[in-house]
Amino acid sequence: MTSAVRHRVTLRGCTPTPLASYLKALAVLRLVSEQKDPEARGYWSEDAFVLESSLNEEGLLDFLLREYRPTPVASPWNLGSGFYPKSAKLRKSEQAVESLAASVAPRLDDYREVLDALRDLISGMGGPECVRTAVGSPATKEDTKRSILTQCRNRLPSAAVEWLDAAYLLAGDGPACPPLLGSGGNDGNLEFSSGFMQRLCDVLRLDDPNGGATAQAGGWLAMAMHAGAMPGLSKDSIGQFAPGGAGGANATTGYDGESLVNPWDYVLMIEGALLFAASTSRRLGSSGPGQLAFPFTVRSSGAGHGSLSTADPSSSRNETWLPLWERPCSLAELKMLLSEGRAQVSRRVAIDGVDFARAVARLGVDRGITAFERVGYLQRNGLAYLAVPIGRWEVVPRPAVELLDQVDGWLGSFERAANGDRAPASFVRAHHAIERAIMGVCRGSTAERWQQLLIALGAAEEAMVRSPKSTLKAGLRPLRGLAWDWLTQVDDDSAELRLACALASMIGPSPIGPLRANMAPMTVRRDGRAWDFAEKMQSKGAVWGKGDLTSSLLAVLQRRCLDARRANLDSLPLDAVRPAPLGDVARFIAGDLDEEKIESLLWGLNAVEWGSRVDSRPPPPRIKPLTQLLPAGYALLKLTHLPWPAPLPWSTRPVPVRYDPEGLTLAAAGRMEAATAVAYRRLRASGLTALVSRAPADPALSRRIAAAVLFPISRLSAARLGDTIIVPPRED
* Chain segment 352-375, per-residue pLDDT in tens: 889 999 988 887 676 689 999 999
- Is residue 383 in a domain? no
Same-domain check for residues 644 and 711: yes
Amino acid at 356: F
- Angle, helix 92-102 to helix 109-124, in steps of 10 degrees: 120
Same-domain check for residues 133 and 24: no
The last residue of a domain, from among 66, 97, 112:
66
Amino acid at 325: W
The last residue of a domain, from among 18, 40, 66:
66
Comparing 86-100, 428-442, 459-473, 513-527, the range with the smallest average pLDDT is 86-100
Same-domain check for residues 105 and 129: yes
What's the pLDDT at 259?
64
Compute the CA torsion angle 528, 532, 538, 544 (nearest 10 deg): 70
- Is residue 543 in a domain? no
Same-domain check for residues 152 and 43: no
| Mean pLDDT value of segment 661-673 | 95
Same-domain check for residues 188 and 247: yes
- pLDDT over threshold 90, residue 309: no
* Residue scoring higher pLDDT (293 or 313): 293
Closest CA to 262 of 244, 250, 276, 288: 244
Contact 35, 80 (CB under 8 A): no
280 phi, psi to nearest 5 deg: -105, 145
Same-domain check for residues 40 and 86: no
pLDDT > 90: percent of the chain: 67
What's the pLDDT at 729?
80
What's the pLDDT at 20?
93
CA 227 to chain CA centroid, nearest Å: 33
What's the pLDDT at 229?
66
- Is residue 249 in a domain? yes
Same-domain check for residues 59 and 85: no
| Mean pLDDT value of segment 299-320 | 66
Task: Count Cα atoms within 13 angstroms, Cβ side, for 47.
Answer: 5
Same-domain check for residues 62 and 84: no
- pLDDT over threshold 70, residue 313: no
What is the extent of the structural domain holding 243? 79-273
Q: Is the dihedral of CA 592, 595, 601, 607 positive or negative?
A: positive
Contact 66, 213 (CB under 8 A): yes
- pLDDT over threshold 80, residue 413: yes
Same-domain check for residues 139 and 17: no
Domain count of the chain? 3
- Is residue 206 in a domain? yes
Domain containing residue 12: CATH number: 3.30.70
Contact 620, 652 (CB under 8 A): no
Sequence-ordered list of residues with C-beta below 8 angstroms from that of 526, at least 6 positions apart, any chain: 510
Comparing 17-21, 141-145, 337-341, 672-676, the range with the smallest average pLDDT is 337-341
The last residue of a domain, from among 66, 92, 107:
66
408 phi, psi to nearest 5 deg: -55, -60
pLDDT category, 291, cuts 50, 70, 90? very low
Same-domain check for residues 266 and 122: yes
Comparing 253-257, 384-388, 576-580, the range with the smallest average pLDDT is 253-257
- pLDDT over threshold 50, residue 158: yes
- Is residue 255 in a domain? yes
258-261-262 Cα angle (round to 5): 150
- pLDDT over threshold 60, residue 322: yes
- Is residue 345 in a domain? no
Same-domain check for residues 251 and 118: yes
CA 84 to chain CA centroid, nearest Å: 44
Sequence-ordered list of residues with C-beta below 8 angstroms from that of 331, at least 6 positions apart, any chain: 29, 30, 33, 34, 38, 40
CA–CA gap between residue 297 and residue 318 (Å, rounded): 7
- Is residue 448 in a domain? no
Can you give the pTM of this predicted structure?
0.85
Name the range with the highest mean pLDDT among 141-145, 207-211, 313-317, 431-435: 431-435
pLDDT in tens, 560-610: 999 999 999 989 999 999 999 999 999 999 999 999 999 999 999 999 999
- Is residue 627 in a domain? no
Same-domain check for residues 17 and 132: no
